[in-house]
Amino acid sequence: MMWVLYIFFFMLVCTLNFLSCHACPEKCVCERVASVQCFRVQTIPTGIPKDVRKLNLGYNHIKEIKGRDLSGLSGLEEVILLSCRVEQLEANVFRAQRALKTLDLQKNRLRHVPRGLPPSLENLHMGHNRIHTLQDSALQVLKRLRTLNLQNNLISTLRSSVLSGLVKLEALYLEGNKITTVQGLLRLPALNWLNIANNKVPSLPSAFFSSLQLLKTLDLSSNLLTRVPRDLPQSLIHLNMARNQIRTLKSRDMAQLRNLNTLSICDNRLVSVDGGLRLPNLTALELAGNQLQVLPSRLSAKLENLDCGQNHIQEVTYQQLSGMRQLRHLFLENNTIQHFETNALRNCLHLTNLALEQNLLPTIPNGLPETLVRLDLKGNRISSIQEHELKSLKRLQVLNLRNNRLSTLPTMNLLPNLQTLYLDGNPWNCSCELLMVKKALLARDIDISSEFCPEPVYTSVDVWQAYVMAQEKCEEQTEESLPVSQTEQADNEEYYDDDF
């Protein structure tokens, strides 16, 4: 009787979960959530459970896939054929998979988008293949497609009409192709992410974006654009046009972008930026690697990050920065800044990071905000540091003074939170006073370069005696510089030590 109950219970479990009683194909792992993953196979294995929902064949060597390979697997929702060296797909090979939502064919050797894909498909990944052209017949039926990834193929012409049937498409990835020509208007009403970076696009058709009323992220970086495209959608939040050939940034080209949050036009040929770009919600602006001679002014009051490094800016004034009350990070490295107006940053009440390395500054700028945590002055012409230049920097933790013209250094007592101090590359005069400063910094556990006034090690007894005498002389000078009360206290402490 007990054996009968055991067999009944076992059959019941098998009914509820096919993987408990069906044998898994050789070189495959069958999981309880109707998922099968196979390793080191050259064809799609036979004997895969019929009601499998996820089939992962990634990183195998499957040169060709035929319709019979997937016959009977009508419940498939996700198929992964990533990096399988697939060269050929039989026509309509996935047509029977009417529940299929995600198909990953990335990193193969396919020359075309497969025909006969099921209308149920929502995510199609075909990046890193050898696709030259997009055919209407392959995509028009995919009315439910939300993501289309065609990055890093060989597409040279983008015909917008080919994509017009993708009425629910939300993300389109075309970066890393060889696109030189864009034709027609992109009619994708649900699109919110478009990436055409790293192509050879010189311009976009007029009104190209007119139907993209939900577009939030647009990446046009690394192309051949000479101007900001017209009629950019008002919905944009992130716009990347880095590494193009844009020479001017005009308000009229961007006036409608009132929702724009981040804008990158790094590494272009910018010589001018209109004062006040009318971008009221902009929080990050990247203009590094251009030919600007003047720091843009009257920018968004919400700006938090401004990068104008690697330009030809010669001065920084209060007028240029007075409206940036939310600014947190200001990058001005690799310019030719000689003049930094006193209190130029007095309205920047939240600034924590200021990068001024590789400029022509003769001194530390006066009136820097007390909110600074990191100050980078590497590679300037600073020959001395005055106490009043450090007075306001109570929160400073990192100070970079490498490769300047410093020969001496103040005690840095006005920087109570200093943790790291970069000093190498200066012509230090390692006098007794400077050695005292070094000892004081080390006593505070401040991280300084080991090359800063290193104490020499001598092998000759005579030279070593000379070194000891020099140290004793420094100590004598230190005692002479102490107030009388401190000297007496030291003597008393020594007296009591002798008693004990």
The string of pLDDT tens digits covering residues 63-76 is 999 988 998 899 99
CA distance linking residue 457 with residue 89, whole number of Å: 74
**Encoding tokens for residue 72?**
């009977």
Predicted pLDDT at 489 = 43
Predicted pLDDT at 473 = 60
pTM, to two decimals: 0.86
Domains located in the chain, CATH noted: 27-107+118-126 (3.80.10.10), 131-245 (3.80.10.10)
CA distance linking residue 29 with residue 27, whole number of Å: 7
Token look-up 């000891």 returns 468
Token look-up 């090979």 returns 93
Token look-up 């198929």 returns 79
Predicted pLDDT at 183 = 94
The string of pLDDT tens digits covering residues 112-142 is 999 999 999 999 999 999 999 998 888 989 9
What H or E segment, with its residue span, contains residue 15? helix 2-16
Phi, psi of 380, deg, nearest 5: -110, -155
Compute the average pLDDT of residues 371-388: 96
Phi, psi of 138, deg, nearest 5: -80, -25
Which of 463-490 are b and which e, b meaning 16 or more Cβ less than 10 Å from the residue's Cβ? Answer: eeeeeeeeeeebeeeeeeeeeeeeeeee
Residue 465 pLDDT greater than 80, yes or no: no
Average per-residue pLDDT in the chain? 88
Predicted pLDDT at 136 = 81
CA distance linking residue 236 with residue 257, whole number of Å: 7
**Encoding tokens for residue 25?**
């194909």
pLDDT band for position 4 (50/70/90)? very low
HEC string of the chain equals CHHHHHHHHHHHHHHHCHHHCCCCCCCEEEECCCEEEECCCCCCCCCCCCCCCEEECCCCCCCEECHHHHCCCCCCCEEECCCCCCCEECCCCCCCCCCCCEEECCCCCCCCCCCCCCCCCCEEECCCCCCCCCCHHHHCCCCCCCEEECCCCCCCEEEHHHHCCCCCCCEEECCCCCCCEEECCCCCCCCCEEECCCCCCCCCCCCCCCCCCCCCEEECCCCCCCCCCCCCCCCCCEEECCCCCCCEECHHHHCCCCCCCEEECCCCCCCEECCCCCCCCCCEEECCCCCCCCCCCCCCCCCCEEECCCCCCCEECHHHHCCCCCCCEEECCCCCCCEECCCCCCCCCCCCEEECCCCCCCCCCCCCCCCCCEEECCCCCCCCCCHHHHCCCCCCCEEECCCCCCCCCCCCCCCCCCCEEECCCCCCCCCHHHHHHHHHHHHCCCEECCCCCCCCCCCCHHHHHHHHHHHHHHHHHHHHHCCHHHHHHHHHHHHHHHHC
Name the residue with higher pLDDT: 253 or 23.
253
Predicted pLDDT at 349 = 93
Contact 252, 228 (CB under 8 A): no
Predicted pLDDT at 479 = 56
Residue 487 pLDDT greater than 90, yes or no: no
pLDDT band for position 216 (50/70/90)? very high
Residue 304 pLDDT greater than 70, yes or no: yes
CA distance linking residue 95 with residue 80, whole number of Å: 16
Compute the average pLDDT of residues 148-173: 96
Residue 472 pLDDT greater than 70, yes or no: no
**Encoding tokens for residue 441?**
């910094």
Compute the average pLDDT of residues 204-222: 96
Please name every residue paired with 447 in a beta bridge, in sequence order, or none if there are none: 420
Predicted pLDDT at 23 = 80
Q: What percent of the chain has pLDDT over 70?
A: 87
Residue 17 pLDDT greater than 70, yes or no: no
**Encoding tokens for residue 295?**
């720091």
Which of 148, 146, 141 minimizes the C-alpha distance to 126?
Answer: 148
Contact 411, 440 (CB under 8 A): yes
Compute the average pLDDT of residues 169-174: 98
Compute the average pLDDT of residues 179-193: 96
Residue 14 pLDDT greater than 80, yes or no: no
Q: What sign for the dihedral angle of Cα 342, 346, 348, 350?
A: positive
Predicted pLDDT at 246 = 97
CA distance linking residue 44 with residue 116, whole number of Å: 19
